[in-house]
Structure 1
Amino acid sequence: MTTPEGFWLASPAKVNLGLRVLGSRPDGYHEIVTWIQQVSLSDRIWLGKRCSSIHLTVAGECVPAGRGNLAYQAAAALRGEAGDRTLGARIHLEKHIPAGAGLGGGSGNAAAVLWGLNRLWRLGLSPTALRRVGTSLGSDVPSFLAGPASLCRGRGERVTPRPPLRRGWFVLAKPGYSLSTAEVYGWIRGARSGQEAAEPVTNDRTPIYRNDLEKVVFARHPGLKKARDRMLCLGASRAMLSGSGAALWGLFSSQEEALKALAGFRPGRGWRVWLARPLTASAWLVRKE
């Protein structure tokens, strides 16, 4: 049985302002350093109490419901951390962030569910404990629990909050196909030189705008490079593949400039575009019902 108690959460997307691949790890992952900035493009999640079971419904983007969804897995993992099988939740996920884009939609959903259920179930777990649970779900999850901007090391799970961008607007663009993170990292395996890997991603205050995955992705998907270059021609101060793709971002000095670029960006059929601003503070809770 459900109760009226519940609330809506905003679950933002992210862009990678820099991503360096330092080499392969024995566990099959890659050692990386990346600077993550959350943006205003967001999914919405409703959390409500339910006796004993976890029930997830999804509207919008084509993503799995039930146990195959990271939001469900986050709820199950948090219940396991609490050690109380009587805890239950009703989760409704409104998807606006595209899947397979490198925008962190699934990871952000998992982080939002961890934060929200910690509140709904009155568990009182610390941010450190939530990040530990998040690490078990995915490499990007801890960054969403650390604030609007973060520097991430290891496979992405070692997170240090950093100052967020406070100016500019993003144009986000995604082609009509998605890319598999595992496949993209497979392309780069063994392709690094020690000199390249030694270059930093940040001076610990501001990111260095470079994504090591672009070379292998653009070689296989030249249309993405053309779209990235189009962003620059339209006035972006920076433009880059986000994470492992397939989404790109361009950073513009003002909303007016971003809107002009949005109108002029015509890379072809199947592409989708969004306008987003950088987030300067975490704001999970939208409203209580």
Structure 2
Amino acid sequence: MKDRIQLKALAKINLGLDVLRRREDGYHEVKMIMQTISLHDDLEIRRIKTPEIQVKTNLYYLPTNENNLVYKAAKLLMDEFGIKEGVAIQLKKRIPVAAGMAGGSTDGAAVLWGMNQMYGLGLSRQELMERGVKLGADVPYCVQRGTALAEGIGERLSVLPSMPKCTILIAKPGISVSTKFVYENLHANDLKPEQHPDVDRMIEAMKEKNLDLLCERMGNVLETVTIPAYPVIQEIKEHMMACGAAGAMMSGSGPTVFGIFHSPVQAKAAMKDLKVNGLAKQLYLTTPYNVKR
């Protein structure tokens, strides 16, 4: 058993996001291509003698109680395995919050992974994923990482060929978008066929390792709701394309936009352009994170 463990919780983007229908239980059936990127939060977990879960973060507005997924993840395993001592979790956020990048989910997934290592619980990746689904639909994917097709309500995952090498520019405007608002205004059952991205053709492009074709076929059905409500998202996309991006799209329910560039030089120039224009509040350059399997 270890006394302390340090972890990187990696962000994700959606290269393709389709909503097939709204089910009778209120959940939405999705078909998404998820991609892990190197942008990450830092976590440190320490064992402490007092039987409690302490959470500290660098952002004053984040909850540090059971409303935070890192707390929930630690409690889930402590309850199941009867761990009597406590843990102190230090979370340094870099991933934009409420931004469609699975920031909370990946922190929760990292704590599951870290607690498993620290206490020698012997859980496999699959067993961690099964527990992760109790915390949220994105958590199992954040445990798995890499490139994956997510179906059902996001819990059915299939491994896809790795994303080709490129530079990714992340731009979050100074707004927050409620996922609930986006899904409530989607009216998935009334969408026209041309409004749905063709995720299968995107997968073909990935199998061919053709980045340009992949970018050409990218699509996110949630843009039909978010862009009319927040036009700055479209402005950021257009700026990225004008600066030479092979493709640009909103991630998840937004408002973060990512641009895919062949050249790091072009990506840096686009980052500077967005900074000068004041369109984005948070800007990061990163790369795809591909898992060796």
Matched, 1:192 2:201: no
Residues 74, 137 of structure 1: 8 Å contact kept: yes
Residue in structure 2 matching 1:229, options 233, 238, 246: 238
Corresponding residue of 1:242: 251
Deviates more, 1:240-249 or 1:270-279: 270-279
Between Structure 1 and Structure 2, which shows a larger proportion of helix residues? 2
Which position in structure 1 is the counterpart of 2:72? 73
Flag structure 2 segments of 5+ consecutive residues without an equivalent: 207-213
TM-score using structure 1 length: 0.90
- Counterpart of 2:211 in structure 1 is none
* Counterpart for residue 286 of structure 1: none
Match of 2:210 in 1: none
Q: Secondary structure at the match of 1:262?
A: helix
Give the direction of change, closer, same or farther, for the CA distance of 1:172–1:65 in structure 2 (3 Å limit): same
How far off is 1:281 after superposition? 2.7
Contiguous gaps of at least 5 residues in structure 1:
283-289
Instruction: Please tell me the root mean square deviation across aligned C-alpha atoms, in Å.
Output: 2.1
Aligned mates of 2:32, 2:80 — CA distance in 1: 28
Does 1:259 pair with 2:268? yes
> Is 2:23 the counterpart of 1:37?
no
| 1:178 equivalenced with 2:176 (yes/no) | yes
Residue of structure 2 equivalent to 1:64: 63
Shift of 1:6: 0.6
Residue by residue, what CA displacement relative to the aligned partner does 1:56-106 show, whole Å, maximum 9, x if unpaired? Answer: 111147422121111111111222333x15153211100111111101110
Quote the Cα distance in structure 2 between the aligned partners of 1:270 and 1:255.
Answer: 19
Letter of the structure 2 residue corresponding to residue 152 of structure 1:
A
SS at match of 2:29: strand
Q: What SS class does the counterpart of residue 40 from structure 1 fall into?
A: strand
2:53 matched to which residue of 1?
54
Query: Given that residues 171 and 283 in structure 2 are in contact (C-alpha distance below 8 angstroms), is that contact kept between their aligned partners in structure 1?
Result: yes
2:219 corresponds, among 207, 210, 216, to 210
In the TM superposition, residue 267 of structure 1 has moved relative to its aligned partner by: 4.1
Secondary structure at 2:58's aligned position in 1?
A: strand
Aligned to 1:162, which of 140, 160, 163? 160
Task: Give the superposition deviation at 1:191.
Answer: 5.6
> TM-score, normalised on structure 2?
0.88
Q: Deviations over 1:137-175 (max 9, x none)?
A: 111111111122211111111111222223110111011
> Partners of 2:141 and 2:52 in 1: how far apart?
28
Q: Structure 1 27/85 Cα, relative in aligned 2: closer, same or farther at 3 Å?
A: farther
What are the Cα deviations for residues 112-158 of structure 1, in whole angstroms up to 9, with x where unaligned? Answer: 01111111111111222211111111111111111222111111111
Contact (CA 8 Å) 1:227, 1:267: kept in 2 or not? no
